[in-house]
Structure 1
């Protein structure tokens, strides 16, 4: 059924594209702009084309997920239940690899939209939606994560609406024991709390870009990858740690944006996380953090640290001229766990966690819009907008340890 639907959408895209192009060609030949009637027709065609492209992208994404499910031999419920947290596909190549591939594919689509095969310009107005799942797949298990997003293995698609709910564990007491016949059984306590969340829009615009730059394939591809794709990813990482939720105060100088009430709720503002106070030195402190999780039976999957703290650890010596203590991480201190560097983490604070207890809710994958209308058309420029809709859920806050590396890290 989805294949028939996709074929119909592609046919309508081609028909509407030809019709809109014919109107633009006629206006070009006659050396004039659009009449009111023509402008209305073009706007109608472009609106339908944008809608059809988005529908095609959803079909392609659904087909990819279905194929992945069949390949893994497992089913995942993706219905209308706002709590589809029974499982997630854990595959992918890591954010940095995906960002590069996304940038190249996106550039091909943009160039095809603004330029005909013969080199002449194509449609000159409207926005072109290009859905790009740059954040939809986590890094493959067994591959080293390079960003915080690569640690978030559980990605949950939200099928509809703007809100979601999940169960957060707030207490765990294991009391299983040997019991004589007819004796009362001990009662373990696993208390959970129903938490409601709301997805937020994360977005940014590029400055107007001269269209001639699209002739420089490599340069613009790098721009899309490093500035647009990674810029959105960095903002999302910041929310993972510093998002204040609806209780936050406004500060336009942070990556949360001017309105903190529109931020997600990150780890720094999630109740129930563990704390490891600074003890003598960073090595002892970090080792004690691992002990906290081990006592609770949680198995950490990685560290996140600010790059300055990673550097400080790398330079720790045994005496003024001794060997670097953490040059090869010993199993009883840092490893064999990955250490992800992120400027989203506060300097002086490390996070050790079982990151599978964090869920990234994806209502809308990152979508790139390209606009050449209005004043942009007059100056032969275009502007790019990348945005997505995301939510966060920490189902077991006690699986996250906030580690004070200096004794002076603020709360």
Structure 2
């Protein structure tokens, strides 16, 4: 029998605010939930539909008194089915029944970090099912190639996004490539840095993450990225599987999906090598 947190008898094991032990840390840490990177929507349904505009309605110069020709925009939609990310940890009953905030935070933080890692891997990658498909799965992104010997490649990426009707809003980079940006000099033989701070490059905020592949930058338009989070985030406990050792299994599940309405406005910058 699985003990759920909704049961009155479980209050000594999981505090009433158990949900925030998972949801809050993950949404604060994972790139996919960063407001600079994507828009987040929540749903209680199995799937979430996102309307997209394929083609605008037409307009034309018209003489006074002439009939205005009616036109309709061309619409489509993306269906997102959030996939389950799950974590399981086994703890002693003594720790589980410790009602101090420190014990609860330790358990929640451990599971949250594990889930956050998988959300980032899914968002940035092209993992096999049942993982949600991320940036690396997209075949229609714009691609810019160049080296980090100047900021030219970043400006080229911004221009590529604009050419597709997007507006670059953030840069995702591996720490090795952020370091390469920090080491740029304003001229040959100079010790003066080209940029004062790597927190902002070419007018765009820079997010450094070890989950971004080295040798690759992502210049993204947050309006073209949607992270879908299902409301049924669950933290459940069971004593059955570890009855003989008097331990308790704690399971956390979260369902997440991603949508990229206009992938061509998202730009991948391919560098020759990491930090180059």
TM-score per shorter chain, which class? 0.7 to 0.9
Instruction: Give RMSD over aligned pairs.
Output: 4.0
- Do structure 1's residue 241 and structure 2's residue 241 form an aligned pair? no
Q: 1:146 to 1:315 in 2, by over 3 A?
A: farther
Matched, 1:232 2:115: yes
Alignment of 1:355-366 (within 5 A): 355-366=222-233
Q: Highest Rg: 1 or 2? A: 1
Deviations 1:28-53 (A, max 9, x none): xxxxxxxxxxxxxxx5xx76x65568
Which one scores higher on RCO, CA 8 angstroms, separation ≥ 6?
2
Q: Which residue of 2 aligns with 1:407?
A: 272
Q: Distance in 1 between matches of 2:71 and 2:218?
A: 29
User: What are the Cα deviations for residues 60-105 of structure 1, in whole angstroms up to 9, with x where unaligned?
Assistant: xxxxxxxxxxxxxxxxxxxxxxxxxxxxxxxxxxxxxxxxxxxxxx
1:269 aligned onto 2:137: yes
Q: Which residue of 2 aligns with 1:210?
A: 92
Q: Please say which of residues 265-274 and 322-331 is displaced more in the overlay.
A: 322-331
Aligned with 1:159 (options 44, 58, 80): 44
List runs of 5+ in structure 1 lacking aligned partners: 1-42, 54-108, 116-127, 140-144, 245-259
Q: Which residue of 2 aligns with 1:59?
A: none
Compared with structure 1, are the counterparts of its residues 310 and 363 closer, same or farther at alpha carbon in structure 2 (3 Å cutoff)? Answer: same
Cα distance in 1, alignment partners of residues 73 and 272 from structure 2? 33
* Of 12, 19, 34, the match for 1:113: 12
- Shift in Å at residue 293 of structure 1? 2.6
What is the distance in 2 between the residues matched to 1:338 and 1:284? 16
Q: How does 1:75-90 map to 2 (within 5 A)?
A: none
Structure 1 segment 110-149 matched on structure 2, within 5 A: 112-114=11-13, 130-132=18-20, 134=23, 147-149=31-33
Report the alpha carbon displacement of residue 202 of structure 1 after superposing the two structures with TM: 0.5
How far is the alpha carbon of 1:277 from its aligned partner? 2.0
Indicate the larger mover: 189-198 or 319-328. Answer: 189-198
Cα offsets for 1:251-308 (capped at 9, x unmatched) = xxxxxxxxx2211121111243222222673521011111223344433321111122
Which of 210-219 and 293-302 deviates more? 210-219
Flag the structure with higher helix content: 1
Quote how far apart the aligned CAs of 1:242 are.
Answer: 0.7
